[in-house]
Amino acid sequence: MAIDLKSFILDVPDFPKPGIVFKDITPVLQSAQAFNHAIDELAAWARSKRPELIAGIESRGFLFAAALARELRLGLTVIRKKGKLPRKSACVLAPNEYAVESFEMHEDGVAPGQRVIIVDDLIATGSSSVSAINLVKLLKGDVAGFVAVVELSFLKGVENIRRAHPEVEVHALVRY
């Protein structure tokens, strides 16, 4: 049975600041049917890319990345905000819609040449996505694809990712 994931995503006006309409994906997570459908769809897309590792972006991206890694029987590595990892890490600037931050991964988070699918919950302007791809490449990983549950197409994030990394295939389950 087909599931309309959009029907599970709620608009929250003026969050995290006035003028922003936040896309709340927690109802997708709360519904076993919707969550399993989302993971099935992510896995169907990812399998053909022959990934060897899944990388999840902090923090909501972790939820989908972990389930996808389990579904594909792969390991999981994490992309965190600066200062959250306990061991020696590689770091890149990660500007987003609200601030300029940095992303980090443990230096051994990706092996050279390892095929990685990067997972996030949402693609907005694409700046965080580009930073995550830059980080995996800094560690000499091969980015096999970038996938998200939601794309806010009016912010042109996928176009920005493709401009920065035309070799990386980008996919989202739901587009606004």
Identify whether the C-beta of residue 110 lies closer than 8 Å to the C-beta of residue 139.
Answer: yes
Asked whether the bond before 59 is cis by omega within 30 degrees of 0, the reply is yes
**Residue-level pLDDT at 95:** 78
Instruction: Tell me the fold of 50-175.
Output: Rossmann fold (3.40.50)
**Residue-level pLDDT at 2:** 83
**Residue-level pLDDT at 51:** 98
- What is the mean pLDDT of the segment spanning 37-63? 98
| pLDDT digit string, tens, across residues 150-172 | 999 999 999 999 999 999 999 99
Spatial CA neighbour of 49 closest among 144, 119, 173, 131: 144
Domain spans of the chain?
Answer: 50-175
**Residue-level pLDDT at 26:** 97
- What is the mean pLDDT of the segment spanning 115-128? 97
For residue 99, pLDDT beyond 80: no
For the chain, list the strands marked E by DSSP.
10-13, 21-24, 53-57, 75-81, 89-95, 100-106, 115-123, 142-151, 170-175
What does the alpha-carbon distance between residue 171 and residue 58 come to, in Å, rounded to a whole number? 18
For residue 97, pLDDT beyond 80: no
Report the predicted TM-score, pTM, of the whole model to 2 decimal places: 0.96
**Average per-residue pLDDT for the chain:** 96
**Residue-level pLDDT at 63:** 98
**Residue-level pLDDT at 1:** 67
**Burial status of residue 50 (CB atoms within 10 A of its CB: 0-12, 13-18, 19 or more):** exposed
Three-state secondary-structure class, residue 3? coil
